[in-house]
């Protein structure tokens, strides 16, 4: 398992201080995936009850019961609303190799984590550069952006060093993570196993490390930075105002709604 030095690199600007993982002088070829499970109800036993309903436990040998129990655990936990699977991996940022560990952002920042299929392709650079061009807006919302593909850090670096007019990326304002073992893509449910590449998955993770939003596009469909931004703003609004919810298409400054049969009429009567 790869280890990460406890030190961090601080990049200061006029508006904020940015914390990045420790830079390594040379990349190693290992990647560690640390799975995390949680039960929102606080009582995991309730989540396994359907598995045992109608079954005769006396006819199940202990190893069989254990195997079915674990499968139910994995199938019964959606990503949204639960802790994001932690990971540690190599990445490229500012044309240097660094280590990124997702849990280092917990308690400090929101995270936009997006997957794309491959370097040196066609739709991918339009998304990657669009997020980079809007990075300052995400930074103002205390949010880090992380891009991930199954390519190596060497491929990432070569693509970053390629001019945009030639299909490259140019310098980016956030790290590109290397998922050469495909562990991260698999843990977030976006890996196409028979092709060995990731779908266009995007996840918004809050400061507690909980996945609050996900979208997954097929390979030929690019994503919208505007919609990602809008969803992030809606998430932050309802976390700051827990007695309110955001209706369809909500944007900052627009009217929100009270999740109550009577109080919600104030919203509906105004539209």
Q: Which residues are catalytic?
A: 124
Q: Are strands 200-205 and 110-115 parallel, antiparallel or unpaired?
A: antiparallel
Other C-beta atoms closer than 10 Å to the C-beta of 208 total: 12
Q: Are strands 143-149 and 176-178 parallel, antiparallel or unpaired?
A: parallel
At residue 224, φ and ψ (nearest 5 deg) are -105, 120
Length of the chain: 271
* CA proximity to 149, closest of 172, 111, 120, 126: 120
CB 153 within 8 A of CB 91: yes
72: left (phi over 0), alpha (psi -120 to 50) or beta: alpha
At residue 235, φ and ψ (nearest 5 deg) are -60, -50
């Amino acid at each position: 398992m790869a280890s990460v030095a406890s030190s961090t690199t601080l990049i200061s600007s006029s508006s904020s201080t940015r914390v990045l993982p420790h830079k390594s002088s040379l990349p190693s070829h290992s990647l560690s995936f640390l799975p995390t499970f949680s039960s929102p109800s606080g009582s995991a036993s309730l989540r396994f009850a359907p598995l045992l309903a109608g079954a005769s436990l006396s006819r199940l040998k202990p190893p069989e019961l254990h195997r079915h129990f674990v499968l139910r655990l994995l199938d019964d936990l959606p990503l949204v609303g639960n802790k994001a699977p932690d990971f540690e991996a190599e990445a490229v940022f500012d044309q240097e190799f660094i280590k990124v560990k997702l849990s280092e952002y917990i308690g400090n920042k929101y995270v936009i984590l997006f997957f794309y299929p491959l370097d040196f392709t066609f739709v991918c650079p339009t998304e990657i550069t669009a997020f980079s061009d809007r990075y300052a807006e995400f930074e103002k919302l205390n949010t880090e952006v992380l891009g991930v593909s199954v390519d190596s850090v060497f491929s990432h670096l070569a693509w970053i060093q390629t001019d945009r007019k030639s299909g490259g990326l140019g310098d980016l304002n956030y790290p590109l993570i290397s998922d050469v073992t495909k562990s991260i893509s698999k843990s977030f449910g976006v890996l196409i196993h028979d092709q060995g590449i990731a779908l266009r998955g995007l996840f918004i993770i809050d400061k507690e490390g909980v996945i609050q939003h996900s979208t997954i596009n097929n390979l030929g469909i690019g994503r919208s930075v505007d919609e990602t931004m809008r969803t992030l703003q809606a998430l932050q609004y309802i976390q700051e105002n827990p007695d309110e919810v955001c209706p369809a298409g909500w944007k900052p400054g627009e009217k929100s709604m009270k999740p109550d049969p009577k109080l919600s009429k104030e919203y509906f009567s105004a539209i």
